[in-house]
Every structure is written in structure tokens, then in C-alpha cells.
Structure 1
């Protein structure tokens, strides 16, 4: 029975930390506030997580991807048309929608951490992926690709911020993806 209680406490800490980091970002989050949300003594958090950075990493675990591997794995699986993403890419999008707060924290609220450049890295990986896909026709404009990808990532974040219902978010993402894939000329 004690083991169940330990997992319950760990889950309370993670949920409280998620809300604290979502509301205040990494820099503004305070362990004392996380403990208060979890209704536990502050010192108990340190029995599970040695510091705020480790707790932050654990909160972000569901949305930490090697973006390059997702894109590379999916590159050969398109059926000749690019009106939809492949299964691996859509599974990734579904997971991000399932963990939208974590994704928002990772992209917009991770200043002063090792993840502070994650949004820029995500944009860069997509840009490089699109350049590889578009090299076959020899016509692509790096500035144009950067603008499209930057706007796509911002659109993805807007869906995360504003679509609280999962099905609505998924439908909106599918529309956004189709618009960008048609618009970039793939």
C-alpha cells in the first residue's frame, strides 16, 4: 500500500509542477508553490526530484522528441502526395495535442533551461527537412521556407493555446497542415 501512496505523491507533484510551469514558466515557478499545489511539504518534493531542473525535465518528458528522427522516419512514407502527414508524423501531432500544456511549456516557457532554444531547433529541423524534400525540383527559396515553417510552428502553438477539446484541435491541425503543405508546393 505504501508504494501506491508514493506513486500518488509523485503524480501530484508532476501535475502541480505542470500547472506551475504552465502558468509561470520555468523561471517564475517556485518549488514551494508546487508543493502547496500538491498539498505536501516542500522538502518532500526533493525526495522525488533533486531540483527544479530535474522536475522540469520530467514534466516535459511526454513531448521531448528527436524532431529529426520523426521527420526522417516519415519522409519515405508519403504516398507521393503531401496533402497529409504520414502516420508517424500524425502520431507525434496527436501526442503533442494530448500533452498541449507540456508542449507550450517546452516551446514558450522554458527560458533559462537547456530547452530554451527548443522552438528554434524545431523550426530548423522542419526547414532542413523541407529543403531536402524540395531539392528534387531544384526550386526553393530558403527565406520563403523559413517564413512558412516559422508560421506553421506558430500556428501549431496557437492551436495548442486555443483549442482545448482534442477533436477540435486535431481537425484544426489537419486543416493547418493541408494549407501549409499545399501552399509550399510539395
Structure 2
């Protein structure tokens, strides 16, 4: 029984912290506000989390994913165009990520002052390498690496815009399909 209560309190703290970090960001969030949101004394937070940074890590840990594994899986597919490989692997991976969109936004937009400050740049860098691999696979022409960087930045920001303005799962899937189509085939494909 005590273990269930401990888990319930820990979950309340995490849920409250997610709300506060989403609203304020890491630097603006106060443990007193998180405790108030969780309806617990501030001292109880320290029973579960050493400090605010450890609490922040716990909130974002489920979305602090390594995109490289998804990119590797997509690149390992021997057949299909880049867009077909994305449809088979990447799209599902992104939909899973969007299920925790608030945590994704906290990690990417609200982590200044933590060890995760560079999370968005890390994602862009990983995506840039993935795009460079795809360009080499699809085309005999060599491109300036800045092209892959710009595409990676734009796709990452598009994904974050879907997360920021999320309306429903269907809306997100439809929007992702449109962005991917534009990304792979150009605006004229619409």
C-alpha cells in the first residue's frame, strides 16, 4: 500500500512539473509552484528528486530519444525512395513522439539552463547527417552541406510547430503527411 502511495505522489509531482515547465520553462519554474500544483509540501519533492534539474530530467527523459536509431532503421531499408522509407519507418516514429508533445516542447524550447540546452541543435545535426546520406543515395550530384542543414532545420521546426499547435491525432497525422510531401516532392506536389 505504501509503495502505491509513493508512486502516486511521484506521478503527481511529475505531472505538476510538466505543467509548470511547459508554462514557465526550466529557469522560470519554481519548486514552490510545482508543489502547489501537485498539492504537496515543497519538502516532499526532495524526497523523490534531488533538485529541480533532476526533476526536469525525469520529466523529459521519455522524449529524450536518440533519433539516430530511427534514421538508421530508415536507412537500412534497401528499397524505396526517401519518401517511401519515411512512410514506412519515420512517420510512425514521429507519431509516437507527438504523443508526448508537451514534453518534446519542454525539451526543445524550454530547457535553457539545463544539460539539455542543445537538444534541438542535436536533433538538427542528426537529421542533417540523415539527409546527407539520403542525398548521396538518391542523387549523383554533390550538394553543399548547407542544403542538408537548412532542410534539417526546416523539418525540425515543422515538427515542433505540429507539436506546438496540436489539435488532434488525425490533424497531426494529416499535417505531417503534407509537410513530408512538401519536403520530399516540393510545394508543387500539393
What TM-score do you get using the length of structure 1 for normalisation? Answer: 0.92
Deviation at 1:78, TM superposition (A): 6.1
Contact 2:82 2:134 in 1 (8 A): no
Deviation at 1:90, TM superposition (A): 2.6
Contact 2:155 2:183 in 1 (8 A): yes
Are 1:6 and 2:6 an aligned pair?
yes
Runs of 4+ in 1 over 3 A off after TM superposition: none
Matches of 2:51 and 2:88, distance apart in 1: 37
What's the counterpart of residue 98 of structure 1?
99
What's the counterpart of residue 65 of structure 1?
65
Deviation at 1:55, TM superposition (A): 0.8
- The runs of 5 or more residues in structure 1 that have no matched partner are none
Higher mean displacement: 76-85 or 8-17: 76-85
Matches of 1:26 and 1:134, distance apart in 2: 37
Deviation at 1:46, TM superposition (A): 0.7
Root-mean-square deviation over aligned CA pairs: 1.7
Matches of 2:150 and 2:98, distance apart in 1: 23
Contact 1:97 1:170 in 2 (8 A): no
User: What is the number of residues matched between the two proteins?
Assistant: 184
Matches of 1:122 and 1:70, distance apart in 2: 12
What's the counterpart of residue 152 of structure 1?
155
Deviation at 1:182, TM superposition (A): 2.0
Are 1:109 and 2:110 an aligned pair?
yes
What's the counterpart of residue 21 of structure 1?
21
What TM-score do you get using the length of structure 2 for normalisation? Answer: 0.90
- The runs of 5 or more residues in structure 2 that have no matched partner are none
